Amino acid sequence: MLIYPQFANSYNHTLFSTTAVFDAYQRIWAGGVLAMDLYGQFNSSHTPWTLREELGSGADRMRGYYGGRYIDSNQMTVQMELRQHIYGRLGCVAWIGGGTVFPSSSKLRLAHILPNYGLGLRFEFKHHVNIRIDYGFGKETGGFVFQFAEAF
């Protein structure tokens, strides 16, 4: 939890920010892992525009959405990946998930959850360090992610 007290900022409000992350991994067969990620970022209602949550702004969650399209004070996402080793240093992944941004917990609506799914390839650059290329799909959007790390 982060607190930005009113006396230490120029915004004239005390601001807070809390992050909650839950990740779980389960081997399901030889070379196959089911990975799950639940993420929440919660901010005070007076959070200025520049500090608000952007759905899809990174390469870890809601891949395929570009940052800035959906912005609000709070964010929640959930995703599940099937990671499969193919041969040697090569692997693949398929995922499904969803997420939303919302102004306050009282305005969180299931109808506003946006879908996210996609496919990706992995190349093990060195032990436990993957180079990945993913293509994510969303509501009327899609896009590539290239990174030197797993999403979570």
Count of domains for the chain: 1
The pLDDT assigned to 6 comes to: 87
Does residue 81 lie within any of the structural domains? yes
131, 145, 93, 34 alpha-carbon torsion, rounded to 10°: 100
The pLDDT assigned to 98 comes to: 97
Does residue 152 lie within any of the structural domains? no
Structural contact between residues 38 and 78, judged by C-beta atoms closer than 8 angstroms: yes
With H, G, I as helix, E, B as strand and everything else as coil, classify residue 62: coil
The reported pTM is 0.88
Does residue 58 lie within any of the structural domains? yes
Does residue 88 lie within any of the structural domains? yes
CATH number for the domain harbouring residue 66: 2.40.160.50
Domain with 83 in it: 2-6+14-147
Give the confidence band of 57 by pLDDT, cuts at 50, 70, 90. Answer: confident
Write out pLDDT tens, residues 101-144.
999 999 999 999 999 999 999 999 998 899 999 999 999 999 99
The pLDDT assigned to 12 comes to: 84
pLDDT of residue 58 exceeding 90, the answer is: no
Residue 46 backbone class (left: φ over 0; alpha: ψ -120 to 50; beta: rest): alpha
Write out pLDDT tens, residues 78-110.
999 999 999 999 999 999 999 999 999 999 999
Sign of CA dihedral 96, 151, 144, 56: positive
